[in-house]
Chains A and B, each alone.
Chain A
Amino acid sequence: MTVQELPIAGDADVVRVRQAVRAAAVDAKLSLVDQTKLVTAASELARNTLTYGGGGGAVVEQVQNGLRKGVRAVFRDKGPGIADVAQALTDGFTSGSGMGLGLGGARRLVDEFAIETAPGDGTTVTVVKWAR
């Protein structure tokens, strides 16, 4: 399984990231519900990269832990960063026009969730979903 690097610069790129994540999830034999959860999380995160990060990129790859397969997706932007991560992860909190479910919702839909960010330093969000 190859590593896919995709730019996120417009609405069409968000769709392409979703499709790449879906293909990787099918390949890793995630169940349909788990595929759907991961693709939905990827959609939220790709949109955040575009809307709040001013664009950036995603890296999608299959990962393996013993016999277990999974998919890792990393979303990176060089935007303003997030000053208060705990607040940004809270349901209902939004600095934009969304519902404030993006970041916290995405975290609930995946198995592993990591966020690296600092004001002025961009944001990197990494998610992993494992096949059961």
Chain B
Amino acid sequence: MERLPILKIGQMLLVSIQVDLRDDMVVALQEDLADRIVETGARGVVIDITALDIVDSFTGRMLATMAALSRVLDADTVVVGMRPAVAITLVELGLSLDGIKTALDVERGMRLLSLAGGSAR
């Protein structure tokens, strides 16, 4: 199975989703991300969904799970790059992504994480 790459940038991890997401890939990403956070001691995770043309309830739930998982492992998560049409659809679907930090792009996401003390360790 194709796995999504997780890049380490300084004290942060960057996951940039560039393919049509299959459910099994999302589940694998969750496990890989937990491993990489522990392995690298990363303090922040940026998940870039710029290329995603939809976020349905499954993907939304996995984003929330990854944010919760990172928190438990002492890392903050920011989801960046959500398209306007995706945001409108998500809200109408009933998914509010409570507890997930968001930013408009990768740069702002990284800044948000460093303001939160992400580069302190």
Contacts and interface: CB of A to CB of B under 8 A. Distances in A.
Interface in B41-97: 53-58, 60-61, 83-86, 88-89, 92-95
Given A18-B54, A99-B95, A36 B85 contact: yes
Given A33-B85, A33-B88, A22 B95 contact: no
Nearest to B83: A36
B22 A37 contact: no
B20 interface: yes
Contacts of A104: 94
14 contacts: A32-B85, A33-B85, A36-B85, A37-B88, A37-B89, A43-B58, A47-B56, A47-B58, A98-B58, A99-B95, A101-B57, A101-B95, A105-B57, A105-B95
Interface of B: 20-25, 53-58, 60-61, 83-86, 88-89, 92-95
